[in-house]
Amino acid sequence: MAPAILITRPDPSGATFADQVRARIGCGVEIVVSPIMRIDHCGSLPDMTAYKTLIFTSRNGVEAYLAQGGPCTIPAYAVGDATAAAARQAGISVTSCDGDATDLLARLRADNPPVPCLHLRGAHVASNIAEALTLAGTETHETVIYTQTDGQMTDRALSLLQSGQPVIVPLFSPRSAGLFFQQATSKGPILVAAISDNVKQAVPDGRAAMIETTEKPTADAMLEVIVTLLNDAKRLEGGNPAK
């Protein structure tokens, strides 16, 4: 059976990434979008006059900050190019760290930006940015301005997993990996595209026929891994799993 791609990323990022996949591989592969989390804005911003530097680790943080009327005059650091682009579009002067949390921390420690810094984050994070920076001598506070609410995969997604065909699943966070495998029962092979080693480690043993990790935590790198897994899926279909 022909392979399919299941995208569980929250909207609107999930729908945007699905469009990027279609543009990269064409229309010959079935793509199912089934967000496994919902992003909700929450909380409130502190008195922003105290802060000299902003830190964004996702586009969701940028969007929630802007929705609360956060000032665009404070310079910022962003974990990667997509997050930086969202901030830049709003008129924020932003430095992209072009990587993951480790790259972000390294850049901030090297640049020694004006303090205090403020990390605008979600309720669930993989790394405690504020604590790490403060311990390193860069005073950093944090505020939670959005939540990642657990959701359920759609009937279409569950049916796809029961079809017996190979399913490629791009996973963008350890939490989404955990939620996906809590719900997924599959009759065919699952091939995981993991955006980081942390995501790879969140995949339960024996649940994925293959796991490929991106070279960089970017959408472009994820697209390249998906292309690789499409070829791997065709070999699985032909009974030759060797790479």
Please write the tens of the pLDDT for every residue from 35-82: 999 999 999 999 999 999 999 999 999 999 999 999 999 999 999 999
**What top-level class would CATH report for the domain 39-148?**
alpha beta
Percent of the chain surpassing pLDDT 90: 86
- 41 vs 243, more confident: 41
Whether 9 and 176 have beta carbons less than 8 Å apart is answered as yes
- Decide if domain 4-36+153-237 falls under CATH 3.40.50.10090: yes
Long-range contact list for 25-30, CB < 8 A, 24+ apart?
25/226, 25/227, 25/230, 29/2, 29/3, 29/4, 29/5, 29/230, 30/2, 30/4, 30/5, 30/160
Q: What is the pLDDT of residue 115?
A: 98
**Every domain range in the chain assigned CATH 3.40.50.10090:** 4-36+153-237, 39-148
Average pLDDT, the chain: 93
Find the mean pLDDT for residues 3-22: 94
Find the mean pLDDT for residues 26-40: 93
Structure tokens at 108: 């901030």
Structure tokens at 4: 């399919």
- The pLDDT tens digits of the residues spanning 136-182 come to 999 999 999 999 999 999 999 999 999 999 999 999 999 999 999 99
Find the mean pLDDT for residues 191-198: 95
Find the mean pLDDT for residues 194-223: 94
Find the mean pLDDT for residues 86-94: 97
- 142 vs 235, more confident: 142
**Which pTM does this prediction carry?**
0.87
**Residues contacting residue 198 through CB under 8 Å, at least 6 positions apart:** 126, 174
d(CA 196, CA 173): 8
Percent of the chain surpassing pLDDT 70: 97
- Does the structure show a pLDDT above 90 at 237? no
Q: What is the 3-state secondary structure (H, E, C) of the chain?
A: CCCEEEECCCCCHHHHHHHHHHHHHCCCCEEEECCCEEEEECCCCCCHHHCCEEEECCHHHHHHHHHCCCCCCCCEEECCHHHHHHHHHCCCCEEECCCCHHHHHHHHHHHCCCCCEEEEEECCCCCCHHHHHHHCCCCEEEEEEEEEEECCCCHHHHHHHCCCCCEEEEECCHHHHHHHHHHCCCCCCEEEEECCHHHHHCCCCCCCCEEEECCCCCHHHHHHHHHHHHHHHHHHHCCCCCC
Q: What is the pLDDT of residue 241?
A: 45
Structure tokens at 120: 């605008």
